[in-house]
Amino acid sequence: MMDLDGRDLVRGRHQEVREGGGEDVTVRGVDDLLEQRVGAIPRLLAPVLAAMGCKVLHTSRRDVPDAIGRRVGLDTLLAQADIVSLHVPLTDDTAHMIDAAALARMKPGAVLINTARGGLVDQPALVAALRSGQLGGAGLDVFEAEPAAPGDALFALPNVVVSPHIGWLTTGTFDRSFALAAENCRRIASGEPLLHRMV
């Protein structure tokens, strides 16, 4: 989704898919990319984005290596970022962290990407910001209410790209998931520590 938005495909690609076709689209540069917090996904994504010429900014409650990008406050991030990409869990503290006030503080024409949790964003406020032109677009893999209703206002907006919350799922990732599961079963049987253990 970030690639779609960064290449100004938020309108073009979504419409092309609806119409059953596709054509080349001019690439535009992305000056700043905001990543909320710095977990596993942003740690992997930041070097790739930096290699593409993006200036990566983030906000985090803990210290992270400089290689991840520059740590700044949320207000600075919202004001400077061309793309705001959310990578945080949904908690009482993060629910509607992107509300009407936060959307108004965002750089005019910026793009919001949410592949984390739908409840992070006040969806009616997002629709209003997209309709008014305050935001240039949105890429959404999650919705405040899931599954999203077929008549959801976001689906009718030309500056929104949506996908089901399975954007990671490809033949390769599916095969890798099974291989990791099999390896962890082997480790359990051998009394070895598990890979990617979550506590």
Cα-based distances in Å from 90 to 79, 95, 117, 124: 23, 6, 6, 18
| CATH of region 2-167 | 3.40.50.720
Active-site annotation holder among 13, 14, 58, 117: 117
4: amino acid identity, one letter: L
3-state helix, strand, coil in the chain (%, to 5): 40, 15, 45
Is 165 marked active-site?
yes
pLDDT at 153: 92
Q: Give the chain's end-to-end CA distance (angstroms, integer).
A: 29
pLDDT at 110: 93
Active-site annotation holder among 146, 176, 186, 192: 146
Q: Distance between CA atoms of 78 and 69, rounded to whole angstroms?
A: 15
Is 87 marked active-site?
no
pLDDT at 150: 82
DSSP string, 78-89: HHH-SEEEE---
Please answer whether residues 81 and 110 qualify as being in contact, where contact means their C-beta atoms are separated by less than 8 angstroms: yes
pLDDT at 13: 43
pTM: 0.66
pLDDT at 64: 60
3-state secondary structure of 34: strand
Cα 32 to chain centroid, rounded? 14
Active-site annotation holder among 71, 165, 183, 187: 165
> Which stretches within 65-170 are classed as H helix?
74-80, 100-105, 123-132
Is 117 marked active-site?
yes
pLDDT along the chain (199 residues), means of 10: 45 44 35 50 69 75 63 86 86 92 95 91 97 94 85 91 68 75 88 75
**How is the chain split into domains, by residue range?**
2-167, 169-199
